[in-house]
Structure 1
């Protein structure tokens, strides 16, 4: 549990206790932009919870990209995001294939350390979005891949001091409790709508330290009440486990 306590302390050292990021940049690939884009769903959850706040999210995604494919120096210049002020937080997502072999894992961790340092130098809190494992119908599937994913992201978080947002772990927990739920797209790799919603709830919990349980946002009724509450509870259970 120490790994999450450490990164949460690092997060709170940059923000007043009880505070939360008002502006967030998402950097990743199709795992972010599927289903009307992760940043939009996180923004809606935050706007519902913090009604008087000015919440702004931005997203920079490249299909099939790995973390090192993104020009973080360019993205950390406010005018390049059509902003006058720097964002509060950057949430970075690696390519799903970056965990599959030792050389790509090392490259991802090195990049996470480098990009997190650059973010802090600009006054931006760095966070890492842990990806989920493949289903059996994806050619890259391997049993217990989540173990490699967790090990890679926790190590990257420990070495970079970035907040680890364990969305991949949330998928595993949700499937263990309800093996009928459809978190993946039929292709076995990308998130389905419910997977994106779960990811948004996990992000919400870990960056605000608040429970998403009971929030009404359901993406224009595309997420049923039953699924909404189940996924919100999964996100909050995971938060409580590691904090």
Structure 2
């Protein structure tokens, strides 16, 4: 009887270790598509570093150019080839604040093209919600609404970085997440963005397990 009990406990311990080991080896691949709000402070690398805290390995590629909207990347054609050939787990779209009508339409209509392609490759589409410059802070609600609407309409994952930033600003009246130019993120701001993105994706991983 003791031997049987011992074997059961040994099996349970082995199974538990195996589960932890599998968690540690969980790897996700991400394609970041955006502009300077993505490549500033190397946001993808910060996401990779933050993900280690959750025992998740991140492999990533970044296609980001100054002042680019997601429609500009689509027009070049590089991102379509990457999504089709490499079959990422997640594609993260980012463009400027998009508080106005034109930006809203780009998020929704161009996002639809990305969504259709991602569905074909079993890839999850994400919207990286950014923020307005401090000069245009009064447009912040529009930024939040348009990103939320685009994600909902295209059945995509929302990464609500801009919303988290605004909650902090409203609570503290401290704008340290902005860099010196009042638009691009400080290193702290990028680290906060990386944590919001990582925690959201980790939660998505838990849902799929």
* Shift in alpha-carbon separation, 1:172–1:43, aligned structure 2, 3 A: same
Are 2:93 and 1:88 aligned?
no
4+ runs of 1 displaced by more than 3 Å?
Answer: none
C-alpha deviation, 1:21, in angstroms: 6.5
Q: Which sections of structure 2, spanning at least 5 residues, go unmatched?
A: 1-25, 205-209
Note the C-alpha offset of 1:142: 4.8
Deviation, 1:158, is: 1.3
Counterpart of 1:14? Answer: none
Provide the residue aligned with 2:36 in structure 1: 30
1:105 to 1:182, Cα distance in 2 relative to 1, 3 A: same
Give the total of aligned pairs.
Answer: 175
1:231 — aligned with what? none
Indicate whether 1:45 and 2:39 are aligned.
no
Cα RMSD after superposing both structures: 1.8
Q: How does 1:221-236 map to 2 (within 5 A)?
A: none
Give the TM-score of the pair, scaled to structure 2. Answer: 0.78
1:198: how far off?
A: 0.8
SS at match of 2:103: helix
Higher strand share: 2
CA offsets 1:33-69 (integer angstroms, 9 cap, x no match):
111x11000001112321xx54212111011101101
* Counterpart position of 1:13: none
Any gaps of 5 or more consecutive residues in structure 1? 1-19, 79-84, 211-243
Contact 1:21–1:88 (CA<8 Å) still a contact in 2? Answer: no
Helix, strand or coil for the counterpart of 2:131? coil
Larger radius of gyration: 2
Q: 2:71 aligns with which of 68, 71, 76?
A: 68
Give 2:185's aligned residue.
Answer: 191
SS at match of 2:173: coil
Q: Deviations over 1:103-154 (max 9, x none)?
A: 3321321011221121111111100000112113xxxx151x1211111111
- Greater helix share, structure number: 2
